[in-house]
Amino acid sequence: MSSWQRSSSSELRASDAERERVVDFLRENSLVGRLDHDELDERIGLAYAAVTRGDLERLLVDLPRGDARHPAPRPRRVAAPVAKKREPSGVMVLVGLAALAIPMAIVAGVVVALAAVFALSVVIGPFVIVALILIAALRRRRPPSAGWQRPHYG
């Protein structure tokens, strides 16, 4: 057997996942009062700097591991994360403004057209009425033309 196969578990290199599990375990023990804040910070720093599993095990030697005599600390419930209110992006603001501007422009165009028709009818309307009255009056006075006469039956 080669020398690297005979090494014990504590001499194996620690993985990032193992470091994270140890840090979580240390935080849980801190929550139940087994570690104070300074000791927790120191052990977390050592956990992230640990190279082997033995380095990680030395950080947990004085803490209970969940046997019948020392129940493991219960993990605290973490509240569901609150959804952050997203700020609208510049593109979305421009799209929103365009969506409002198009109907507003249509309404403004209709209002201007109606105002123009009303203004023209107020200004030109009396002239049109006078012209119609004059045309009707002149038609009544005009004698029938010489080229056309009513037929005489008799």
- Judge whether 73 and 29 are in contact, CB under 8 Å: yes
In a domain, 83, yes or no: no
pLDDT category of residue 95 using cuts at 50, 70 and 90? confident
Instruction: Return the bridge partners of 52, or none.
Output: 13
In a domain, 46, yes or no: yes
Task: Provide the whole-model pTM.
Answer: 0.41
Encoding tokens for residue 148? Answer: 């056309």
Q: Answer whether residue 150 shows pLDDT above 70.
A: no
Q: In terms of residue numbers, what domain contains 46?
A: 10-60
Number of domains in the chain: 2
Question: What does each C-alpha distance from 133 to 34, 115, 123, 125 come to in angstroms?
Answer: 108, 27, 17, 12
- The larger pLDDT score, comparing residue 59 to residue 78, is at 59
Encoding tokens for residue 50? Answer: 């640990």
In a domain, 18, yes or no: yes
Q: What is the pLDDT of residue 78?
A: 59
- Judge whether 48 and 19 are in contact, CB under 8 Å: yes
In a domain, 151, yes or no: no
In a domain, 88, yes or no: no
Which residue type occupies 152? H
pLDDT category of residue 69 using cuts at 50, 70 and 90? very low
Q: Answer whether residue 66 shows pLDDT above 60.
A: yes
In a domain, 55, yes or no: yes
In a domain, 25, yes or no: yes
In a domain, 121, yes or no: yes
